[in-house]
Structure 1
Amino acid sequence: MNGSNFFGEFQIQLHGPAKNLKGLFNNPNKRIEIECDFQLRNREREYILENCRELLEETIWHGVLPEAFQWGGYRKASFSTQFRDRQPEVDEKMEEKLPELLREVESSFVTGGIRIDESGHVDVMPSILLELAFSNYRPRHIGVVDFHGAQRHYGRELVQGINLNLDQQNQNYSQHALYNYNNKYANVKSEMAGNYIKELLSEKASSEKCSQDHTLTEALKNLFSTFFPDKEFLGPQPTADGSLSFPVRTASGSIHDLDELSSGEKEILYGYLRIRSSAPANSIILLDEPELHLNPRLIRGLPEFYREHLGETLSNQLWLVTHSDSLIREAMGKAGFNIFHMLPSTAENVEQSQLKSMSATGDLELALADLVGDLAAYRPGGKCVILEGGGDTDFDKTLLQRLFPDELRGINLVSGSNKNKVTSLHEILGRAYREGSLSTKFYAITDMDSDEVDIQAEGVGKFSWDVYHIENYLLDEEVISYVVNSMLDKPKFSVEHVLNELKKSAAEVLPGVITHRLRVHLGGLLIRSINLSFDPKIFDISEAFYEIIQMSSEKISRVVSSEATLDRIKEEQERISKDFDGIFSDNSWRSKIPGREILKRYFSSCGISANYNLFRNLVVNRMAELSRKPLGMASVLEKIAKD
């Protein structure tokens, strides 16, 4: 073992005092309990039954004389005296344990467990079958646990000293099947060269050409045709000087060596070949970040390719651990895949499973996952907050995530910018609510003065910010002063100066706000006067439309002569204007006037050659650095969290 292996990465020392196991503990004050059910495939069960005495004897010898099995070897000759002296002891243990082994083999499941208490004492649940399975490295007959970490490196390889001894290869593999993952990607060329020579020898020894279906070279050629159709691997080629080359031909006809492939290409080719060539069957293969080095085009077929060629073909169970939205989308809803979201180990409810299943069968979950956008960020079963204020709701989502990361843990945020998708979600929500199948709680937050949003869905909790819209929460003169001065070559704006300029900008924006509210009022009067509905049984629809248009015209005329006269319009303007009386003395200008327009007007007056979005993002970053949590936002989120 070395620093590049699994245990070294987490600073876990398997030898020495109990304190060396502290790296395993998430909470040193709580014990570790791991329990797992294993199910044997029929082929494994048959193989163990046929070879039970041989396997059991070797398993017992592992415990009686472990030094003979160091580094995966079985050096009986070097310990002949010890083997001879202790053979009766081993025979006695075999007769004692054989009935228990046969009983466990015939059972549907075998349970393994381990407990490590706070002091580091390890207690393992006894199981002779699991002891046998993990003591005897025979991956083509008995399943193994094969771990492939995220720190994969593919170096250049000089082919020399080819070894045709498969037993020695198996001994080497057995030492890094679980933990020493860096060694797994070495010697791929040497392995192909060894297979090439063995195939030549087989052809010389028999009249029939040996089958090419399952060789390493053929697997590599199939990979090229699947992922890199513009390239062709020609297989190991003998050269005039007696060596082997490994050429790849491109679409233009040029030739380059296998080592010249990109990191992404090697990730697919070498990664797959390493697993495939060791040929573990009936095993559990753990792949950490299989999308490493890959662009989205290469990710597209990866899960299905692994499932077909490593899962189904070899009867393996694959665990792909990823943060990639693209990879999750490739597997979502497809046969043969189960997708789980893993919650942090610090989850508040210790009784709650860290794994939450993501199902693609429900319309609601599919629609919600699609709206969240990044499936890696989707929290199945978590509360959902839909931001339906007017304007840039994608920014609303970003602002909430930056200022309230802890409060939003486990909550799905959905931007309302895609109106069609949100409308579809509302329809699905209403149907789920009426059917009583709404397991997730949904909430919608709108701007205080939003007149564009009409939330129709049943079962949705409705809240609004206590300001005109969410960007009003950015009107913090101390933060803005810091940001503006950091964008200038020479700081020149004091906090007091910034406050005065913000008020000035708000005063300049105010007439537009009054105009907008007056326009909404008058537009509503006219729109309510128009009605183009008529009895669908009427035969002459042209005449029907003409008549109702005349009726609407008369209604509009009555409104204009009564409610939309010049005097009434002036009265309404004065009424609206009174709502803003004293806003600068009582500080309510921060909530009643659109913050976005105030900030844009102020920033344009600063003479800084940058766009508004950059300025706005810098303000948010500064607020996050200072842990500024506006009370109006915190209040709404607290109500949602407590509901």
Structure 2
Amino acid sequence: MHLKYLKVKNFRALEDIHVEFDSHVNVIVGPNAAGKTTVLEAVRLLKAMLAPRLQNEAIQVLQSLGAASPHLPNQMRFQSIARDMGVPVVIGCRFSLSDQEIAILESGVDSIAPTIVQSQMGQAFAAPGAMIGFLSSDQGKQMLVSVKAQLLIALEKIKASKTCNLELTVSEAAGPSASSDPIEMHLVAFIERQLPPYKTIFTYFPADRALPSGEQPVQLGGPDASQQLESYNSQPQIKFNRLKNTIFSAAIIGEGLNPADSLKVQFEKIFNGILKGRKLLEFGVNEIGFLSVLIQDTENGRIFDLDGMSSGEKGLILTFLLIARSVAQDGIILFDEPELHLNPAVCKDLLAYLINEYVIPRNLQIFICSHSLEILAGALDNDYCSLYHLISSTTLSKVRQQDEITLGDALRRLGVSESENLLYRGIIFVEGPDDVALLESGFSTQLRRYKLKFSSGRAEVEKAIKALQQAEVSGIHAAPTYFIFDRDELPTNLTSSVSVKVLQWDRRCLENYLIDLDAISNALMDDEVAKEPFTNQGDVSRLLRELAFQQLEEIAAKKVYSKYAFEGLGIRREDLVNRSIDDVSETLLARIQNVKNQISEIDINSWRDEFKNMVIDERKQLEGIWETTWQSDCDGKRLLYDLSRKVKLRINLKKLKVRLMREISINNSPTWNTIKGNIHTLLTEA
């Protein structure tokens, strides 16, 4: 049984996603708190509610989600599972069935029909014989005939499509209900109930792993079978308390099942394939009466107890032992962050080992939620894997190889890896070399799920933006990418699209927002910042204004000279590409002639004085404007640099900027609120 299609609406972090799965291993990546685990929890909840193997499976899963309590089992806390209280939760799955599973259903019609009748009577897990009186009555016999007819129709449909559809709807008023064919959910449950307690076709490995250490009680028989059944889906966290129980129960009862499934063979597989350099030496009761599993380090011969291994190693041993011993042919495994407690070197081999040792031989299907770069890279390179990117609460899309190539070129131009694009909610590119540190220190809450990157070279960045927007037009889904430009002398004409957003600061650059008199005064009057602290705010104000207005002469000179619009004589790339020498010479001659004509109009004897007078006039005009706008229009980077040279500081310039950003943040200053508003608009605009 494999999951081929999933639909989730209004379940926790997920608003509305539809996705088809086509591989044995499906890796789901995305930023923190995007809802990756929620995808697994949705499948788990649907299975527990519609196709439970145990009587308490549904209530125990609801309790783990915070939607039910043991002392009020008849009440459901809808807000624990719903994103919007006014909308029902809908979870739908389409499972594909193997020929063997369909054969089991066909041969079990006489067994399935009474269980369906019992379920419809509210006695799904009644003891054998509890319904004898009713099933022997005329009404009971009629129900059996009717259910068998429905069952045969459902089986014909399943034989034709080889799929089975389950859909769960939960509303605040009506509670949970099956909104799909009510017969089909019993078929999925029947397949699993044919397995012995130590086998399952569905198991979940949660991220919360509390591995025990030291002596643990080991029990066999009924209590062990009950606990093992609960560990598959009802209470998956108890898997991790069963490490020694799993080993010793396997040692006692497992050897007779299949030589290939022996404990020794399974440990050899794990130690040869993923935890190299280890060997199972022996297991038994030690001299002080404790259960002991002895492991040998093959490199130095050191012998130690299993408890002496790292939590990551113990977690892997337990995980692979459980997969080897408990997951049946064609089974489904849900993995949440298998990389926890593991170093990258082990993660690099994890996916390939899973596929070669378990997935291919048993035709298993695995769903993995991960933040591991090694697992992500492995998923992109393996034919048995598909990678899915949870971009938002409404988009879980498959990362196609051709999309990765298209996006990869544009992202590499910006200095971003494909993994960064997949593991964050979005990437924000900034233009100033200190902007990353400034924004992270002042707006860490807003930006905690975003990756900030410094990108230099406006022309290259604008080319990359156009490439990303072209990929978007082609229908390629990617995480949102954001670009924040300084205003300076190069206003951008680029506009935002659905997944590529552009913002230009209202002031010349980000540092201009730090020109806050209170913040700068607080810093310069602190002897931890300045070697010779200022004593009053007035001196700080005068110094800032003086340093800012020193820039006016340069700005005026640039503006005056730019009016001449002299064309450069240098040769350009476009002058040469795919052009004959005649065309090139014509272009260059025209350029020389144009410059010659411009220069011929200049009186060399008077130009210097004319230029100086024009600069003086321009400066006077700018002075009048700057009286009210200098904090926005001056070069903020230059101003703070000049300030750091004028004042003897105990800290470097970057630390001064970070201090100023924290000052305006703490004071909730207007400039800080302006930046916050701009960032909010950038990240939320449709």
Q: Which TM-score applies when normalising by structure 1?
A: 0.72
Q: Which residue of 2 aligns with 1:102?
A: 152
Shift of 1:183: 0.9
Q: Which residue of 1 aligns with 2:233?
A: 178
| Residue 355 (1) aligns with residue 400 (2) | no
Of 113, 137, 149, which residue of structure 1 is paired with 2:193?
137
Q: Which residue of 2 aligns with 1:205?
A: none
Q: 1:589, 1:473 → 2: CA distance?
A: 12
Shift of 1:430: 7.9
- Write the mapping of 1:135-534 to structure 2, written as runs, cut at 5 A: 136-138=192-194, 144-156=201-213, 158=215, 163=220, 169-198=224-253, 211-212=259-260, 214-229=261-276, 231-234=277-280, 236-237=282-283, 245-249=293-297, 251-324=299-372, 327-332=375-380, 334-335=382-383, 336-341=385-390, 343-344=392-393, 353-362=394-403, 363-367=405-409, 374-376=420-422, 378=424, 387=430, 389=431, 391-392=433-434, 394-395=436-437, 398=440, 402=444, 415-417=454-456, 422=461, 425-426=464-465, 428-429=467-468, 445-451=484-490, 464-480=504-520, 497-498=536-537, 501=540, 504-508=543-547, 510-511=549-550, 514-515=553-554, 518=557, 528-531=568-571
Q: 2:538, 2:312 → 1: CA distance?
A: 53
Q: Deviations over 1:267-326 (max 9, x none)?
A: 333233333332144343222232322333333343444455454443333222345566
Give the AA of the match of 1:599: L
User: Once structures 1 and 2 are overlaid, which stretch shifts more, 34-43 or 359-368?
Assistant: 359-368
Shift of 1:572: 6.0
Task: From the superposition, tell whether residues 456 and 62 of structure 1 become closer, same or farther in structure 2 (CA, over 3 Å).
Answer: closer
Q: Which residue of 2 aligns with 1:590?
A: 631
Task: From the superposition, tell whether residues 280 and 522 of structure 1 become closer, same or farther in structure 2 (CA, over 3 Å).
Answer: farther
Task: From the superposition, tell whether residues 99 and 170 of structure 1 become closer, same or farther in structure 2 (CA, over 3 Å).
Answer: farther
Conserved 8 A contact 2:519-2:664: yes
Give the AA of the match of 2:240: Y
Q: 1:458, 1:30 → 2: CA distance?
A: 32
User: Once structures 1 and 2 are overlaid, which stretch shifts more, 615-624 or 517-526?
Assistant: 517-526
> What is the DSSP-based 3-state SS (H/G/I as helix, E as strand, rest coil) of the residue aligned with 1:151?
coil
Shift of 1:528: 0.8
- Write the mapping of 1:31-180 to structure 2, written as runs, cut at 5 A: 31-57=88-114, 82=130, 88=136, 94-106=144-156, 107=158, 108=161, 109-119=163-173, 121-125=175-179, 126-134=181-189, 136-138=192-194, 144-156=201-213, 158=215, 163=220, 169-180=224-235
Q: 2:400, 2:568 → 1: CA distance?
A: 45
Q: 2:368, 2:606 → 1: CA distance?
A: 67
Shift of 1:249: 0.9
Q: 2:507, 2:317 → 1: CA distance?
A: 56
Conserved 8 A contact 2:88-2:170: yes
Shift of 1:178: 1.5
> What is the DSSP-based 3-state SS (H/G/I as helix, E as strand, rest coil) of the residue aligned with 1:147?
strand
Of 554, 559, 570, which residue of structure 1 is paired with 2:612?
570
Q: Deviations over 1:442-498 (max 9, x none)?
A: 8865322245x98899999976433221221222334455667789599x999x945
Task: From the superposition, tell whether residues 436 and 507 of structure 1 become closer, same or farther in structure 2 (CA, over 3 Å).
Answer: same
Task: From the superposition, tell whether residues 221 and 529 of structure 1 become closer, same or farther in structure 2 (CA, over 3 Å).
Answer: same
Q: Deviations over 1:10-67 (max 9, x none)?
A: 3322653435455233333333333332322223212222344345556666777969
Higher relative contact order (CA 8 A, sep 6+): 2
Conserved 8 A contact 1:397-1:414: no
Q: 1:29, 1:427 → 2: CA distance?
A: 41
Give the AA of the match of 1:341: L
Q: 1:307, 1:418 → 2: CA distance?
A: 44
> What is the DSSP-based 3-state SS (H/G/I as helix, E as strand, rest coil) of the residue aligned with 1:591?
helix
Shift of 1:121: 3.2
Q: 1:68, 1:356 → 2: CA distance?
A: 39
Task: From the superposition, tell whether residues 321 and 636 of structure 1 become closer, same or farther in structure 2 (CA, over 3 Å).
Answer: closer
Q: Which residue of 1 aligns with 2:65?
A: 10
Conserved 8 A contact 2:267-2:280: no
Shift of 1:158: 3.6
> What is the DSSP-based 3-state SS (H/G/I as helix, E as strand, rest coil) of the residue aligned with 1:246?
strand
Conserved 8 A contact 1:465-1:633: no
Shift of 1:501: 1.7
Conserved 8 A contact 2:202-2:233: yes
Shift of 1:130: 1.5
> What is the DSSP-based 3-state SS (H/G/I as helix, E as strand, rest coil) of the residue aligned with 1:110?
strand
Q: Deviations over 1:399-457 (max 9, x none)?
A: 8965866xx99x99775348797476257358659x86688898865322245x98899
Task: From the superposition, tell whether residues 636 and 489 of structure 1 become closer, same or farther in structure 2 (CA, over 3 Å).
Answer: closer
Give the AA of the match of 1:251: E
Q: 1:513, 1:305 → 2: CA distance?
A: 66
Q: How many residues align?
A: 599
> What is the DSSP-based 3-state SS (H/G/I as helix, E as strand, rest coil) of the residue aligned with 1:18?
coil
Q: Which residue of 1 aligns with 2:41?
A: none
Q: Which residue of 1 aligns with 2:45?
A: none
Among all aligned residue pairs of Structure 1 and Structure 2, give the percentage whose two residues are the same amino acid: 15
Q: Deviations over 1:521-562 (max 9, x none)?
A: 8799888133487898779x9x99xx9999999999989984
Q: Deviations over 1:366-414 (max 9, x none)?
A: 456665653355559xxx9764x45445457658965866xx99x9977
> What is the DSSP-based 3-state SS (H/G/I as helix, E as strand, rest coil) of the residue aligned with 2:324?
helix
Q: Which TM-score applies when normalising by structure 2?
A: 0.68
Q: Deviations over 1:588-609 (max 9, x none)?
A: 1111222223334546777664
Conserved 8 A contact 1:385-1:413: yes
Q: 1:520, 1:217 → 2: CA distance?
A: 82
Give the AA of the match of 2:631: R
Q: 1:555, 1:530 → 2: CA distance?
A: 17
Conserved 8 A contact 1:185-1:274: no
Structure 1: tracts of 5 or more residues without a match: 70-74, 203-209, 345-352
Conserved 8 A contact 1:56-1:132: no
Q: 1:17, 1:614 → 2: CA distance?
A: 58
Let me know the Cα RMSD of the aligned residues: 5.4
Shift of 1:339: 0.6
Task: From the superposition, tell whether residues 110 and 264 of structure 1 become closer, same or farther in structure 2 (CA, over 3 Å).
Answer: same
Give the AA of the match of 2:100: R
> What is the DSSP-based 3-state SS (H/G/I as helix, E as strand, rest coil) of the residue aligned with 2:330?
coil
Higher strand share: 2
Task: From the superposition, tell whether residues 11 and 438 of structure 1 become closer, same or farther in structure 2 (CA, over 3 Å).
Answer: closer
Conserved 8 A contact 2:331-2:364: yes
Shift of 1:263: 2.3
